[in-house]
Amino acid sequence: DAVQYCERSGVWLRDEKGDRKIAAIGIRFAKGVTMHGFALNVNPDLSWFDKIVPCGIPDAAVTSISAELGRDVPISEVIPVLEKHIYEALARVSA
């Protein structure tokens, strides 16, 4: 199960392995322009995160769907599921 922290942006997994960020979500308003972004770690090379402190949070790690499931997950498997959930969430908000 994913959790959200008020003090940390994004989507996190928390269990006996510790806190791991699996997705980033951002919204910014500047000079009358709204910018937004969404990143879901599906199957990235996580070794790049060893070279930085992700999100400036030294006590947390980064993970992916593939790492959590223990198998390579292709993006083509994720897109239909993600589209369905985003559509349902937006339908609830706009209702």
Q: Which residue has the tokens 């060893």?
A: 50
Indicate which residues carry an active-site annotation.
55
Distances from the Cα of 29 to the Cα of 33, 35, 39, 41, 65, angstroms:
6, 6, 19, 25, 30
DSSP lists the bridge partners of residue 72 as none
